[in-house]
Every structure is written in structure tokens, then in C-alpha cells.
Amino acid sequence: MLRPITVSLALLLTAAPALAQTAPAPAPPAVTPTEPRETIEGTLSQDRTVIAVPALATPAVTTVAGLRTDALGRQIADVIAADLERSGLYAPLGPGSLRAITMGEVTAPRFADWSAQNAENVVHGFVRADGAGNLTVGCYLYDTALGSELVRQGFVIQPGDWRRAAHKCADAIYSRLSGESPFFDSRIAYIAESGPKGNRIKRLAIMDSDGGNHRFITNGQALAISPRFSPDYKKIVYVSYLNNRVRVFIYDVATGSQKLVTESANTTFAPRWSPDGTQILYSMAVGGNTDIYRISANGGTPVRLTNTPGIDVGGSFSPDGRKIVFESDRSGSQQLYTMNIDGSNQQRISFGGGRYATPEWSPRGDLIAFTRMGGGEFRVGVMTPTGGGTRLLTNSWQDEAPTWSPNGRVIQFFRTSPGREGKSSLWQVDLTGVNLRRLPTPQDGSDPSWGPVQP
Amino acid sequence: MTIRKTTAMIAAITMLAVGACAKKAPEQLPPAPEGTGTDTDAGTGTGVVPGSQEDFVASVASDRIFFDFDQYNVDAQDQATLQSQSQWLARNPAVRVTLEGHADERGTRDYNIALGERRANAAKNYLASLGVDPSRINVISYGKERPAALGSNEEAWAQNRRAVTVVIGR
């Protein structure tokens, strides 16, 4: 039941020669390196690029695994348009408002038609059954003014993976037009919440970056918190209150089995993977004193990294795997520190006033996201690995626990509302502080963890 | 706002009668735990099984102690509460308990688990100093996962910064 469909997403076609042209370098966000600064949320650029995304064509309407290729052409276009819209950079014209295209148009677009609809770019594609139960999805991007091809990719997929083909196509378009690395074809582990505030049911759950392919993992009988996907998406490390103890487990997504990260009589929590997936950081409380440890993902002897009477907790590896950022209250309040992975060279990096927690190193390595507590509110912000350029990105009662998109451009977090009916939900915001959005989840949500782009 | 407590760890018994210390327990008493019922006469009422959770709650000053914001020290009032708990535990030597540490919602999740560990262990250590065998005391931290009061105000937060002693059997 818990076994996922094996993904075989082979690149069918090579990139067109047009791809050899280098995309323009992205404009860096306007950042003033001052102490915590608020941003105006929710404003989108007025000059978003208009992209037409008509339904993908099909050479012959075929039903494969209960899916019709013509219906899939429309659904794939819907997912591509939704991805592009969610990025905040584009204003897609969705398939519902556009005429269908023929197979012939896929490689010979009627550019004048799309220009007449003010579309600067147009996405074409096709869905073809190969007779062996697989589908081929073609994905093309054109510049309507120049009449030139910008992207040409194809994917052979099992029918159940059609959403991944759509995300891969959207990623190719996004990368070509923005110059940024892709991020749509990625997954999120989080905690689904339900029930009253005093007795919340918290279940481990996973979904695609757009909320698709949602699946509950645990049944809610034991509290589950703070999940993290392994870099290969095969495992999830998380904390379970199973048998009224607080312990870190490694859950195997394919088999549905789980094991303790370490055998200990003590409370273990706040786990994180190393970027290569070979090691796990966790925190352990011994006699009330919490410190940070590192252990092989296969078990063995843990290495103690901190040794202070204060609370040392959490932690996140730098993308090169050489440093760790963590939080500690050794100075009297929660603050952020960095250290080498052997625990040496511990240095405080947060000084801006207030308490700082839940640091997460960007996959690009240039920034650390955090939760800042002050004035009775939690806000999500970023700073450089040496503590400079602190910026706050959100403004609400409680925004907590940032996690990075695979390309380091978007930050997800959870937002909690106050009071007896207070609930949590998943949100995301651009690194520039704009394009704030709530993520669709079937129940309330917390503790999001965004994994890498899938191969 | 937050009242800083003195960390005087002077002999507990002399402090028992001292109620003048900054009172951090909420004015409004926390709700009774499940199954406590309304019987409050010290375990002598009908139907209260000696050594049970019901007996415990009816016999001790309180099943819980309270902490100031981001603090975990056991003050005079907490000491009096734990003293009454230790006396009951002495009368019921076969009983084991769990000490639950909790935090209010104004901290991040992982930190609050660590803070709850501190609070539960502070209570455990004090009970041990009064002669309770620490092997009878199990500790678990719920962080901010299980608030007793659901509001988002000082009164609710004061009730949630707590260490609760729960009888788990013999």
C-alpha cells in the first residue's frame, strides 16, 4: 500500500540548439544590508510575462491505464500553467481559455495567433501512447515575437507519473526564461493537523511541490513532528511520540517500515539529513540538558557536537556539508551559531535583537533562513552565513520553521493563528518577500520540509 | 510581563508556608485532569482506589507546578507542591509516575521540547532530593504540543508552562 510507483522519467529528446544561447543572468534582488527590515508582502510584479499554455495535442486519442491522452493533454497544460503562475514571474493563459492545437502546430506554431493574444511566449506539447503502456510527453517553448524555439524536451513516463512530466516541462520553461535553477519537480514532507488545539492529531504526510499526489503516511495515533525527506526521497526522518517516548525514526517510504536513528533511553528530536544523505543530525536531552549529535544514517556511534549547559538544538548543514548552523540559548536567549561538522569553531551569528531559531541553510549556500521571535510575534527571515544582511520576509502572528525550495528562491513555512481556534497552515514566499501564498492541503499543516529537484 | 523568580534553593520545608513569593500559578485554576471527578476528600471518599491517579490528585496540593516564561527553576510554591507529591509517593511506594514537561506556544517547536525536558527534569530532580527513587519517575516533554489552556493570552500561557505528575501504575 505504501509502495510508490517507480519513476522512470527518461529524457527522450535532447535540448534544441536554441538552448545553447545562454539565458540572461537574473537580476539580484534589491537588498539593503541593514538590520531586520520588513518587506511589503503580496505584491507581484506588474510586468509578468504572458505565456499561452494551450492543451497539449495528441496524435491519436488513446486510453492508457484508464487515462485518455487528450484529457491528459489538458490536465498537463493546467499543471504547467499553475506552476508558472505560482512562481509569481508569469501570467499564463491557461488551456481553458485557449483553442486546442493540432499535432502539426506543435513544431510549427501559428505565432501571429498567440501574439494577437498578447502572449510573449507559447507552450506547445503532445501526449502520445507508445503501445507498451508508457506515454511520451513533448514539451516546447517558443518566443512568439521572434518566432523561435526556446525549449524542446520530451519525457517517457508511466501514465501515473503525468504530473511529474508537467512539472519537468514547467521547470524547463521557468529555467529558460528566468535563468534560475528548476524547482517544481520536487516534493514536500509535512505534518497534517486536525482536531482541537489541546489534543491535535498530527500525521506525517507527503505531497508534490504543488500539493498534488498527497499521501498520509502515519495514522495519527502517535504525535508526529518535524519530518525531513532524505535527499533521494527514499526515506523520511521524523520524530514520533510512539509508545509515549520522544524519538527520532527513519521511515522507509517504499517498504513502510521504520527504525530508530539511535538506540537510547533519552529523548531524541530535531533531526536533519546531511546534503549527501549519509548522516543525520539530531538533538538529545540527557537529564534535561539538550545537545546536538551527528550519526551515520546507517547507525553506529553518535558524535556529540555541542557541550554546553544551555539548550543546543536543531541544526542544518551547509550545502557543501562542511558546516552546521544551529540554535543555542547559551548566551541567555535563543540565538544562531555556526560550527564545523566536528563541532569545532562555534560562533554566534545572530545579533539583531529578539530570539532567533530554526535556522535552515539555503541550497545555494549564500543565506540562512530563520524564525525570529520578538514583540510577541514570530517572523521568517534570512541572513548571510556570517550574520549580515538580515531581512524579515513575513509579517503575521506566528510564522515558523522556514524550508527552502531546491533552487533557493522560495521559502516555505507554517503560519499559526492565535486563540482557542488557532490553526496552522503552510505558506510560501519569495526570497524577495513578495508572492506570499498559502499551499493547498487537505487538512491544516505544519513543519514543511522541501526536498531537492528529482532527477 | 514576565516575573523573574528567585532561584533560592533553600531547604524546602522552611519555605512551605511562604506564600509571599511571586505567585506565578494562574489565578484561575487549571482544569482537573481527566477522570478526577469531583471527589476531593483526600482519597477517603468512596470509590477512590488508593495509589490511583484519582487518589493522587485528591491527596496532593496539585498535580502540577508552573514556570515563568523560558524558565525552569522550582520555586517555593513549586517546592510545596512537590513536597506533597513526595509524601503521597512515600505512602504508595509501588507507584510509578510520569513527569510531563510542557511549554507555552511562544517558543519554536524543537526548542520547546528541550524546554519541557528541562522543566520535567527540574521537577524530577526535586522529588528525588526529597527521597523519591528517581527510577520511579519517567520523564517526557510535550513542548507546546499539548496546551492545557487554549487561549493565546498571559493567563493561558501561565497555565501551559507546567510540569505535570501523572500516575502510570505500579
Please indicate whether residue B45 or residue B69 has the higher confidence score (pLDDT). B69
Separation between Cα atoms, residue A174 and residue A163, nearest integer Å: 16
Tell whether A432 lies on the interface with B, counting CB pairs under 8 A.
no
Q: What is the DSSP string of A116-141?
A: HTT-SEEEEEEEEE-SSS-EEEEEEE
pTM of the predicted model as reported, rounded to 2 decimal places: 0.87
- B97-113 pLDDT, tens digit per residue, is 999 999 999 999 999 99
Least confident of A17-21, A205-209, B137-141: A17-21
Contacts of B113 in chain A (CB under 8 A): 246, 267, 269-270, 285, 313
Euclidean distance between CA atoms B82 and A12, whole angstroms: 71
To the nearest whole number, what is the mean pLDDT of chain B?
A: 82
Q: Tell me what pLDDT residue A50 has.
A: 97
Q: How far is A260 from chain B (nearest CA, A)?
A: 17
Angle at the Cα of A135 from the Cα atoms of A131 and A141, rounded to 5 degrees: 135
CA dist., res. A164 & res. A186, Å (int): 9
Closest chain A residue to the Cα of B114, Cα to Cα: A290
pLDDT in tens, A407-434: 999 999 999 999 999 999 999 999 999 9
What DSSP string describes B80-147?
Answer: HHHHHHHHHHHH-TT-EEEEEEE--TTS-HHHHHHHHHHHHHHHHHHHHHTT--GGGEEEEEEETSS-
Q: Rounded CA gap, A314 and A268, in Å? A: 11
CB-based contact (8 Å) between A447 and chain B? yes
- Distances in Å between the alpha carbon of B107 and those of A71, A100, A311, B68, B115? 48, 53, 13, 13, 9
- What 3-state DSSP class applies to A402? strand
* pLDDT tens readout for residues A288-330: 999 999 999 999 999 999 999 999 999 999 999 999 999 999 9
E-only strand ranges, A114-254 = 121-129, 135-143, 148-157, 187-194, 201-208, 215-216, 224-229, 235-240, 247-252
The answer to whether A283 contacts B114, with C-beta atoms less than 8 Å apart, is: yes
Please identify, in words, the CATH class of the domain defined by A35-178: alpha beta
Say yes or no to pLDDT of B46 above 70.
no
Establish if B141 touches chain A: CB-CB under 8 angstroms: yes
Residue A44 has pLDDT above 70, yes or no: no
Using DSSP, state whether A39 is helix, strand or coil: coil
Instruction: Round to whole Å and give the CA distance between A321 and A266.
Output: 27
Residue A157 and residue A169 in contact, taking contact as beta carbons nearer than 8 Å? no
Q: What is the pLDDT of residues B62-101, one digit of tens each?
A: 999 999 999 999 999 999 999 999 999 999 999 999 999 9
pLDDT computed for residue B51 by the predictor:
94
Looking only at the bridges linking them, the beta strands covering A90-93 and A49-52 are parallel
> How many DSSP H helices and E strands does chain A contain?
4, 32
The domains located in chain B, with CATH, are 67-170 (3.30.1330.60)
Q: Do B111 and A329 touch (CB under 8 A)?
A: yes
Q: Among A190, A183, A185, which Cα is nearest to A408's?
A: A183
Please choose, from the candidates A272, A270, A271, A267, the residue with its C-alpha nearest in 3D space to the C-alpha of residue A289.
A267
What per-residue confidence (pLDDT) applies to A47?
81
For chain A, the domains span 35-178, 187-450
The per-residue pLDDT for B47 is 80
Q: How big is the A-B interface in CB pairs under 8 Å?
A: 95
Output the CATH code of domain A187-450. 2.120.10.30
The predicted structure's pLDDT at residue A408? 97
Q: Whole-number mean pLDDT of chain A? A: 91
pLDDT of res. A427: 98
- Taking the CA of residue B86 and the nearest CA in chain A, the distance in Å comes to 20
Contacts of A168 (CB under 8 A, 6+ apart): A9, A139, A153, A155, A184, A185
Go through A418-434 and write b for each residue having 16 or more CB atoms within 10 A of its CB, e for each that does not.
eeeebbbbbbbbbbbbb
pLDDT in tens, B15-42: 333 333 444 544 444 444 443 333 444 4
Percent of chain A's residues with pLDDT above 70: 90
